[in-house]
Amino acid sequence: MGVALVVVGLAAATWIYSGQIHGLLLRSDHRLPVYDVEVLAVGEGEVTLPRGAGEVLGTWGLEWETGYARVGPVAATGEAGVVRPLLEAAGQLRPGLLVFLDVYAYEADPASVGLAFDNVIIEGPEGNYPAWFTPGSGSTWVILIHDRNGYRREALRVLPTLAAARCPTLTITYRNDPGAPDGGGRYGLGDPEWKDVEAAVEYAAEEGAAAVILYGWGMGGTAAAMFLHESAEADLVAGLILDAPLLDPGAVVDADAHAHNVPGLIAGWAKGLATLRWGVDWGALNQVDRAAEFEVPILLFHGDGDTVAAVGVSDRFASARRTLVHYERIAGAGHGAAWNADPARYEAALADFVTRVITDLALRR
């Protein structure tokens, strides 16, 4: 009887934690912003925010119900709060207003960063996917893929740098995005989302792209990596840019289990159950173990303050392919916030990488 109870208990714990895995990594949940940071003061060209929440590193957006602003790095710190330069504001920013600190830093679409663009539709495996196209005179396109539960706005911070490099860009959506085909409310952590990336690559080729660079944040990076492994169109890719990538989803589960005192045995069984329930292939998604399969140059950004996708995984990936990966490890930056922490460093590395990829392509032709 005692053994039976133990078995039942272990089975129940495994089932419950597999549900936790679903919520942690697989569930599509595009939540509305929570306005929970109070503006303490607004002066000439500056704003005061509370200590703690207002001390995020670098350049950020402030969003509220009727407006949007952009603030620079902390300029002064006092007992009452932190003072940040007010770089731009649309709408009335006033003391007492509740705002949301937005890592994307720009509000709407490529026009927010001064770029002309077209709304285009990509015909993909599940239907029609909206995308933004910005023109450029080069023949190497950059395809930008946001993180899971994110939005295309994630790419706005880097579009001006790519425009300066004369690259046409395609900022895409994928299944489960608002306005894109329904994916059943669940992500595959890059598989099958890579098929949506494939549709974008095929669109670019049909529109005249001779080569593409894939650029992915978080799970968008995993989708780009899975495209390279799985797609017959992978030869069109000349380079890969990864920002806070989800290179080993299994490691995220292990870290979460450790943080919540879930025994490793239960976590391992729960991952196996997630494979049975939802088809998650942890081995195929582990890009660190598959590092030897990559053949194109890679630019990798990751902040060591990331609590979503551990920087240690990127460390191991970069170490495994030292000759292929240029790694920008940004001190203090959180998840997807490497640009915010140091825009100048980020943009210089990005411009250099894109120029090098395009130059190498030209030499080979």
User: Does the pLDDT at position 8 exceed 80?
Assistant: no
Nearest of 218, 215, 182, 219 to residue 200 by alpha carbon = 215
Query: Quick one: pLDDT at residue 11?
Result: 65
* Digit-coded pLDDT (tens) for 40-81: 999 999 999 999 999 999 999 999 999 999 999 999 998 889
Query: Quick one: pLDDT at residue 79?
Result: 83
Q: What percent of the chain has pLDDT over 90?
A: 87
Q: Which helix (H) or strand (E) holds 37?
A: strand 37-38
Residue 31's CB is within 10 A of a number of other CB atoms, namely: 6
Altogether, the residues listed in the chain come to a count of 365
Q: What is the DSSP letter of 108?
A: S
pLDDT band at 13 (very low <50, low <70, confident <90, very high): low
On average, the pLDDT of the chain sits at 94
> How far is Cα 222 from Cα 194, in angstroms, rounded to an integer?
8
C-alpha angle 125/130/136, rounded to 5°? 110
With tokens 């120029």, the residue in question is: 355
> How far is Cα 234 from Cα 171, in angstroms, rounded to an integer?
18
Q: What is the DSSP letter of 307?
A: S
Nearby residues of 173 by Cβ (< 8 Å), 6 or more positions away: 129, 130, 131, 152, 179, 180, 196
> How far is Cα 144 from Cα 24, in angstroms, rounded to an integer?
24
User: Which range, of 29-33, 242-246, 316-320, 338-342, averages the lowest pLDDT?
Assistant: 29-33
User: Does the pLDDT at position 4 exceed 60?
Assistant: no
Query: Quick one: pLDDT at residue 9?
Result: 52
Q: Which residues pair with 328 in a beta bridge?
A: 301
Query: Quick one: pLDDT at residue 31?
Result: 87
- pTM here? 0.95
Nearest of 47, 50, 52 to residue 38 by alpha carbon = 50
Mean pLDDT, rounded, for 228-232: 98
Residue 18 in tokens? 């597999």
225 close to 190: Cβ distance less than 8 angstroms: yes
